Amino acid sequence: MDLRTSDVAALTGGRLVGPDVVVAGAAIDSRRIAGGELFVPVVAERDGHEFVASALGSGAAATLSARPAGQLAGLPPDATVVEVGDTVAALTALGSAARDRLDPTAGARVVGVTGSVGKTSVKDLLAATLRTRWRTQASAESFNNELGVPITLVGAPGDAEALVVEMGARGPGHVAALCAVARPAVGIVTRVAAVHTETFGSIDAVAEAKGELVAALPPDGTAVLNAADPRVAGMARRSSARVLTFGPGGEVRAEGVRLDDGLRPVFTLTSPWGVAGVHLGVRGEHMVENALAAAAAALACAVPLDSVAAGLAAAALSHWRMELTTAASGARVLNDAYNANPTSMAAALRALAGLDATRRVAVLGVMAELGATSDADHAAVGELARSLGVEVVAVGVPAYGGVPVDDIDGALAALAGLGSGDAVLVKGSRVAGLERLAARLVGPPAG
C-alpha cells in the first residue's frame, strides 16, 4: 500500500515532521530495507529507535517514532518522521487501514492460516496456487504475530486480488486480535498439537486459541478444517461460515500417495471440483496434508483445479524447511531446522527414513516450550528415531539419547564419518540455531 506520510499521521493520530513523502510498505528490521518503506522502530530487547538513522540511510522513505524527532540520533536534516504515541499500535492501525482499502472482491479472498504445525508451509503452498489466477500477497517467512500481520497487509499492492495471512498464537486472544486487523474471509486450521503447552497449559487450550480464527469468519466465508484432527474438525461448531474439510475422510483428499526419489509426493487430488494428478514441488509425505489444506482454500477462492495442481507443483517453501542438498562429504543433508515440535519431528524423521541411504543420522536440537512433558517428549522422539533405524546426535538435550554433544562443533565432530550414500537430518526449534550446522555441512571443505 502506497501512502503519503500525511495520511500515515492522520491514520495513526501522529504528527508529521519533515517533508510529506510517499511510503510503500513497512519494515521493522533496518537490515531488510529494500527501499521506499516506512520504518517502524519497535521497543523490545533492543530499542528500534537506535536504528532509525541506519534504516533511512538504507533507503527507508520515512520512519515512525515514539520519541520526538529531535531526540533521534544521526537523523538526516531532511528526514521525514511521524511521531506517534506507540509504534506497534500505529503499525496495527496502518494494517487495518490497508485491509479497508482492499477491493471488496479481493477482501473475499483474504485467507488466514493458523494451527500448531504446518501453517508456514500451507501459507507458501496456498500463495503458489492463488498466484496462478490472482495477484497475491502473502506473509513473508513466518511473519505471523502482531507485527507480521499488519506488515503483510501494509505491504500488499493496491491491485492485490488475494491475500494470505499466517497467524500465530502465544496465548488466548492472540488469533482473535490478528483477525480483527486482517478480517479473513477464509480460514485454514492445519492441526492442533502439543506445541507451546508451557504457555497454554493443555492441548485443549491450544485448540481453543486456534479456533478463534474460525469464530471470526463471516457467514459468507469458508472454514477449511482438517477432517483427520478431531479438535480441528470440531471447530465447525464455532462458525456460521461454510465448512470445507481436507485430509482422510474430508472433501479434499489425496489418493495413491507415493514419494519420488527426492521425497516429493505424487498423488491424485480428489475434491468436489473434480480429480487431478499432483506432483508436489516440496518434500516429505507430511506435506500432502499441507497441500490438501492449500488446495481446499484455493478451490474455495475460485482457482481452477488444473491451476491448483500446477501451483502445487511449482511451490517452494520458506527457507530451512525440508531443504535437501548434498554436503561436501557427499552425504545428503535434509535441512528442516526452522522449528520443531513432537509432531513435526516425527514427520521429519519418517522423511529421513524414506531416503535411500546406507546410514541415516538425525542431529536434533531442543523442542522449546513443551512444559512439564518436555523430557518425555524428547525421549519419545529419540525412541522413534531409533525404531526407524536412525542414529541420533543430540545437541544440548540428553533426553533424546544417542550421542550427546554440547554444540554445533560437537555435532560436526560426531558427523565426521559421514560420506557418500549417507543422509543426515538437521532439526530443532529456532533457539537451537541448527541452520548454522546445515550451512557448514553443505559448505566447501575447510582449508
- For 54-93, b/e burial (b = at least 16 CB within 10 A) is ebbebebbbbbbbbebeebeebeeebbbbbbeebbebbbb
- What mean pLDDT, rounded, does the chain reach? 93
Q: What are phi and psi of 246, to 5 degrees?
A: -135, 160
Give the Cα separation of 391 and 384 in Å (integer).
10
Which pTM value belongs to this model?
Answer: 0.85
CA distances (Å), 129 to each of 18, 122, 243, in order?
43, 11, 20
Q: pLDDT tens digit string along 83-103?
A: 999 999 999 999 999 999 998
Rounded Cα distance, 46 and 39, in Å: 15
Instruction: Tell which residue, 426, 227, 407, has the closest CA to residue 332.
Output: 426
CB atoms within 10 A of CB 228: 17
Match 513497512 to its residue by C-alpha cell: 26
For the stretch 21-53, pLDDT in tens is 999 999 999 999 999 999 999 998 899 999 999
Which structural domains are found in the chain, ordered by start? 2-85 (3.40.1390.10), 102-314 (3.40.1190.10), 323-442 (3.90.190.20)
Which regions in the chain score pLDDT beneath 50? 445-447
Note the pLDDT tens digit of each residue in 235-256: 999 999 999 999 999 999 999 9
